[in-house]
């Protein structure tokens, strides 16, 4: 078992004892309106998982045992990445409750930690250039939000716009496509970023080392950038110039 990449047995001298895992919380707004001959059935949405984690602590005295448990509780009080024995994927979690069971006053202690969060898999990074179509694979069971970073050589281009699309599986090009968003490059802008998982935007300008939280006025999102289970084709086009442009797409597969 690991927390934020650190092995719990080595870092905290604790052992994973038991895990109770639930599926993500399900919400559905389907309804049967009066006078309607059939119900309106909508797709269910999935929220956070609930995880009950039991940890076993051993020590020569109660003070030492409690100190070990307090350290791991403090670590999980902040959003953390959890890797559990017996499970293939990782979990982004935060602590909601902590309880203790003292089997032996002097030598044994069981900490029961209640967590909420989500399950995710492999981190993927792909690149695409204007005029290209790219298949984005998603082996997860729910939509995977995308982090999109557009880099452009601003040495010669005064103004340029990058357009991103979803396209049908059998279509090449952007006909019958669904627009995702546009990224406007003008002035000294050389990099724009949008992260669909948290709505964060960033902008970097030529000859400036610092990346700012700006760029929102230059990024227009038409549909939440995300990949459905199984995967989707993604396309990129540019208008207004011939600058050297690279679009980097990052995402992690997510699970119910």
User: pLDDT by residue (tens digit) across 46-84?
Assistant: 889 999 999 988 777 777 788 888 899 999 999 999 999
pLDDT digits (tens, 9 = 90+) for 95-143: 999 987 765 555 667 889 999 999 999 899 999 999 888 999 999 999 9
Least confident of 126-130, 156-160, 179-183, 227-231: 156-160
Burial of residue 130, with CB atoms counted within 10 A of its CB: 0-12 exposed, 13-18 middle, 19 or more buried? buried
Percent of the chain with pLDDT over 70: 88
The pLDDT score that the predictor gives to residue 244 is: 82
Q: How far apart are CA 89 and CA 253, in angstroms?
A: 10
Q: How far apart are CA 20 and CA 55, in angstroms?
A: 12
The pLDDT score that the predictor gives to residue 75 is: 93
Cα three-residue angle 229-233-235, rounded to 5 degrees: 140
Residue of 251 and 63 predicted with greater confidence: 251
Residue 68: in which H helix or E strand, if any?
Answer: helix 62-76
Q: How far apart are CA 115 and CA 51, in angstroms?
A: 5
Is 66 strand, coil or helix?
helix
Least confident of 1-15, 65-79, 145-159: 145-159
The pLDDT score that the predictor gives to residue 242 is: 65
Is 8 strand, coil or helix?
helix
Are 104 and 113 in contact, with CB atoms under 8 Å apart?
A: no
Q: How far apart are CA 25 and CA 46, in angstroms?
A: 5
Beta strand residue intervals within 73-170, DSSP E: 80-83, 90-104, 108-128, 133-138, 144-145, 147-152, 159-167
The pLDDT score that the predictor gives to residue 186 is: 82
Tell if the pTM clears 0.85, that is, is over it. no
Q: How far apart are CA 248 and CA 50, in angstroms?
A: 33
The pLDDT score that the predictor gives to residue 178 is: 85
pLDDT digits (tens, 9 = 90+) for 22-55: 888 899 999 999 999 999 999 898 889 999 999 9
Are 89 and 119 in contact, with CB atoms under 8 Å apart?
A: yes
DSSP state of 28: -
The pLDDT score that the predictor gives to residue 192 is: 93
Residue 51: in which H helix or E strand, if any?
Answer: strand 49-58
The pLDDT score that the predictor gives to residue 213 is: 67
Residue 175 has pLDDT above 70, yes or no: no
**Helix/strand number for the chain, H first, E second:** 2, 20
Give the residues across from 254 on adjacent strands. Answer: 120, 142
The pLDDT score that the predictor gives to residue 50 is: 94
Token digits for 244?
A: 């050297």
Residue 169 has pLDDT above 70, yes or no: no
Are 137 and 232 in contact, with CB atoms under 8 Å apart?
A: no
CA 24, chain centre distance (Å): 15
């Amino acid at each position: 078992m690991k927390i934020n990449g650190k092995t719990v047995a080595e870092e905290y001298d604790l052992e994973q004892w038991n895990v109770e895992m639930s599926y993500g919380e399900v919400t559905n707004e389907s309804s049967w309106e009066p006078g309607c001959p059939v119900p309106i059935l909508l797709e269910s949405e999935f929220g956070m998982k609930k995880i009950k984690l039991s940890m076993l602590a051993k020590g020569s005295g109660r003070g030492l045992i409690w100190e070990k448990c307090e350290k791991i509780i403090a670590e999980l009080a902040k959003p953390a990445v959890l890797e559990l024995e017996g499970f293939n994927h990782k979990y982004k979690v935060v602590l909601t409750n902590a309880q203790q069971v003292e089997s032996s006053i002097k030598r044994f202690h069981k900490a029961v930690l209640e967590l909420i969060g989500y399950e995710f898999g492999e981190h993927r990074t792909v690149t695409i250039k204007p005029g290209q179509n790219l298949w984005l694979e998603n082996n997860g069971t729910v939509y995977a939000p995308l982090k999109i970073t557009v880099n452009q050589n601003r040495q010669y281009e005064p103004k340029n716009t990058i357009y991103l699309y979803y396209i049908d599986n059998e279509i090449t090009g952007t006909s019958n496509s669904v627009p995702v968003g546009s990224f406007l490059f003008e002035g000294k802008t050389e990099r724009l970023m949008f992260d669909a998982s948290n709505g964060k935007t960033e902008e970097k300008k030529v000859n400036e080392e610092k990346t700012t939280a700006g760029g929102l006025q230059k990024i227009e999102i038409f549909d939440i950038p995300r990949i459905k289970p199984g995967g989707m084709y993604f396309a990129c086009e540019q208008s207004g110039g011939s600058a050297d442009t690279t679009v980097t797409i990052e995402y992690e597969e997510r699970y119910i």
